[in-house]
Amino acid sequence: MDDAPTTTLGRIAKTLGLPEGAVFGPYPAPDRGATVTADEALELLRLFSGIADPQVRRACTAHVQTIAGEGACADGG
């Protein structure tokens, strides 16, 4: 049997490395305790994909990695 997702949300979940059910509601972020909703994840992807400049995308990614490493994302600050 083919394990490939058959829905757009299923493909998004697979790309993000999440269980398919995670795109339908709150999902605890790995090792952080924060909750990420499908709406938040999709909005972030939508906004990020609108950045045309690769250098700006790298800077954005680095910024998010820095914030996440500081734990600010987990406590809402």
User: How would DSSP label each residue in the chain?
Assistant: ---S--SHHHHHHHHHT--GGGGGS-EEPTTT--EE-HHHHHHHHHHHHT---HHHHHHHHHHHHHHHHHTTTTTT-
Residue-wise pLDDT tens digits, 13-64: 777 777 777 666 665 556 655 677 888 888 888 899 999 999 999 999 899 8
Q: In this predicted structure, what is the pLDDT of residue 70?
A: 65
Using left for φ > 0, alpha for ψ between -120 and 50, and beta otherwise, residue 73 falls in: alpha
What does the domain layout of the chain look like in residue ranges?
8-70
Instruction: State the pTM of this model.
Output: 0.48
Q: Are 8 and 23 in contact (CB under 8 A)?
A: no
Residue-wise pLDDT tens digits, 25-39: 665 556 655 677 888
